[in-house]
């Protein structure tokens, strides 16, 4: 009887553990985990680890920290990273944001329409993109302020000095200065990046600095992504906030998720503004 009492629970543990593991591997990724994870840890602590989402295999990214590609290196055994919401996001605005923007399109944009068009022509940038950045930054309020940034494009004092803006509260100076800086960032980006993606790369550099953008491109290459496409790079930029990724890069930590959210919001605004300027 003793062997039966010892062996049977052990066999049951293996059977249930195997079944639960199979359930997780067959379940949709969005459903994998929490309740089964808790069940596994409660019943069999040693098998519960099989149910953790981070134990699953995802065919998205190769982890460049634990494995580095070398000549003759096999892809077998590579660990991968699950996609996040920002990996698959598309340009969108909430209902409230759309309502506010539509209201300002009717009441505020007419005052600055010629300004955005003129500045866009001067710097070879889409007028709708410049207007979208200005709206996202200040809702087209020329006297907007927050800490050290001010004006429609919310320029910092140092950026304003760099682009020759003496009065940040002047709509014309501020918008022209912001566009000049954005054009300057775009000029640093390879023409291997097609338009309009080059504009979004410039926005990323505008927002977090050209050094972090270069880091994101380096990381994209390591992860098997195309460093010249925004659809790929926006999946990688959020990883700059994770130590296992930024530790091996030149410029370190960056709030990549906030940068992607900012650019996607600008893109959403640009779509709504474009018909009013083009």
Cβ atoms of residues 275 and 216 within 8 Å: no
Query: How many Å is the maximal CA-CA distance in the chain?
Result: 91
- Residue matched to tokens 């992504």: 225
Tokens of 49: 């680890």
| Catalytic residue from among 79, 137, 173, 242 | 137
Q: If you write DSSP's letter for every residue of 197-234 in order, what string do you get? A: HHHHHHHHHHHH-HHHHHHHHHHHHHTT--TT-HHHHH
Strand order through the sheet with 145-146: 145-146, 149-150, 155-156
Report the alpha-carbon distance of residue 126 to residue 199 in Å, rounded: 9
Structure tokens at 257: 């998720």
Q: Which of 89, 95, 82, 83 is nearest to 262 (CA)?
A: 89
Asked if residues 264 and 89 have their Cβ atoms less than 8 Å apart, the reply is yes
Active-site residue flag, 137? yes
Interior CA angle at 91 toward 148 and 132, to 5°?
45
- How buried is 5 (Cβ within 10 angstroms: 0-12 exposed, 13-18 middle, 19+ buried)? exposed
Catalytic residues: 137
């Amino acid at each position: 009887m003793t062997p039966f009492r010892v062996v049977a629970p052990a066999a049951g543990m293996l059977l249930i553990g195997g079944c639960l593991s199979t359930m997780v591997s067959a379940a949709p990724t969005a459903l994998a985990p929490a309740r089964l994870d808790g069940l596994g840890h409660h019943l069999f602590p040693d098998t519960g680890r099989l149910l953790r989402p981070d134990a699953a295999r995802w065919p998205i990214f190769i982890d460049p920290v634990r494995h580095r590609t070398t000549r003759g290196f096999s892809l077998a055994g590579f660990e991968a990273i699950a996609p996040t919401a920002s990996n698959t996001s598309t340009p969108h605005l909430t209902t409230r944001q759309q309502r506010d923007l539509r209201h300002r399109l009717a009441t505020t944009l007419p005052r600055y329409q010629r300004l955005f068009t003129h500045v866009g022509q001067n710097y070879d940038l889409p007028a709708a993109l410049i207007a979208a950045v200005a709206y996202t930054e200040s809702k087209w309020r020329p006297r907007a302020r927050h800490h050290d940034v001010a004006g429609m494009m919310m320029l910092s004092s140092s950026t304003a000095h760099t682009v020759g803006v003496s009065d940040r509260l002047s709509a014309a100076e501020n918008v022209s200065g912001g566009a000049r800086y954005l054009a300057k960032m775009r000029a640093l980006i390879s023409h291997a990046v097609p338009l309009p993606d080059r504009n979004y790369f410039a926005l990323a550099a505008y927002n977090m600095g050209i050094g972090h953008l270069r880091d994101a491109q380096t990381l994209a290459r390591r992860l098997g992504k195309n460093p010249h496409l925004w659809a790929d790079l926006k999946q990688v930029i959020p990883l700059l906030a994770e130590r296992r990724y930024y530790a091996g890069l030149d410029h370190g930590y960056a709030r990549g998720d906030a940068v992607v959210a900012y650019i996607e919001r600008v893109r959403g605004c640009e779509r709504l503004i474009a018909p009013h300027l083009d």
